[in-house]
């Protein structure tokens, strides 16, 4: 039994290039300093102090391409359910977890400190179903482009959402149903650190230019300097990069 399970989720999607005419494989296999992104993210997650275990969750279509990229000391779970919510519910049952912290593989700078912070917040809110980080300018949890923040959930709430969510759009993102149905689930948020709470921060890897930004950040800070404080300070010193991040964020909003 794992009280709080860290789940690195690899969604079966493809990374669209800037040209937009073709696609590239999921970034999970791309390399930072010689390590596949999947291994990189897993190692950052395992640095969190308050997780009892960490697993990687993929769907069956990804097994052949990703099975050699997961560190040997971390379980690779193949979810055979057709959607993200169903796969999350299945892995929680498999490990008999009470709570979980979900991290997407396209988040190369997910911060162990912020993982522990959200678990501490959950410990001080008994009975809560979902916790996410939020911006001061927007009361809803951060979901897409930050690339730093995890989400916390209670396993029993996920099982209930898996039972209730009937539409494909409700099941595509594993925790979206919980935080978008306040009458059925108790949720709360904790504030994004001020240095990252801005419209021109984008650290998730969704398009080719995001990957270029990630590589630049690693080159500038080195492997031992990638905490959120250092990244926020670096972005303060690079307005051109922030401007490009803001443009990419706005393009995503325009395409919703």
Please indicate, yes or no, whether the overall pTM of this predicted structure exceeds 0.85: yes
Look at the domain 4-194 and name its fold.
Spore Coat Polysaccharide Biosynthesis Protein SpsA; Chain A (3.90.550)
Q: What is the mean pLDDT of the chain?
A: 87
Could you please report the per-residue DSSP string of the chain?
--SEEEEEE--S--EEPTT-SSEE--GGG-EETTEEHHHHHHHHHHT-SS-SEEEEEEEGGGHHHHTTTS-TTSEEEEE-SSSHHHHHHHHHHHTT-SEEEEEETT-TT--HHHHHHHHHHHHTSTT--EEEEEETTEEEEP-SS-SS--EEEEHHHHHHHHHH--SHHHHSSTTHHHHT-TTTS-EEEEEPPGGG-STT---S--BHHHHHHHHHHHHHH-TT--SHHHHHHHHHT-HHHHHHHHHHHHHHHHT-
pLDDT digits (tens, 9 = 90+) for 25-55: 566 777 887 888 899 999 999 999 999 999 9
């Amino acid at each position: 039994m794992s009280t709080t399970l860290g789940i690195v989720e690899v969604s079966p999607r493809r990374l669209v290039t800037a040209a937009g005419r073709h696609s590239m494989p999921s970034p999970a296999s791309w390399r930072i300093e010689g390590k596949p992104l999947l291994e990189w993210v897993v190692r950052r997650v395992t640095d969190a102090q308050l997780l009892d275990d960490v697993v990687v969750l993929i769907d069956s279509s990804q097994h052949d391409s990703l099975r050699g990229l997961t560190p040997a000391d971390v379980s690779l779970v193949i979810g055979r359910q057709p959607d993200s919510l169903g796969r999350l519910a299945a892995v929680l049952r498999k490990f008999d977890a009470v709570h979980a912290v979900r991290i997407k593989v396209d988040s190369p700078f997910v911060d162990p400190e912020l993982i522990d912070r959200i678990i501490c917040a959950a410990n001080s809110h008994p009975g809560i179903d979902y916790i996410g980080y939020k911006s001061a300018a927007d009361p809803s949890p951060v979901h897409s482009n930050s690339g730093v923040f995890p989400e916390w959930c209670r396993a029993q709430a996920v099982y209930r959402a898996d039972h209730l969510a009937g539409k494909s759009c409700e099941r595509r993102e594993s925790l979206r149903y919980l935080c978008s149905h306040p009458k059925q689930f108790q949720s709360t948020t904790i504030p994004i650190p001020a240095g990252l709470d801005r419209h021109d921060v984008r650290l998730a890897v969704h398009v080719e230019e995001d990957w270029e930004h990630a590589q630049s950040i690693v080159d500038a800070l080195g492997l031992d300097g990638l905490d959120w404080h250092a990244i926020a300070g670096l972005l303060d010193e690079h307005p051109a990069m922030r401007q490009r991040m803001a443009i990419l964020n706005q393009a995503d909003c325009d395409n919703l």
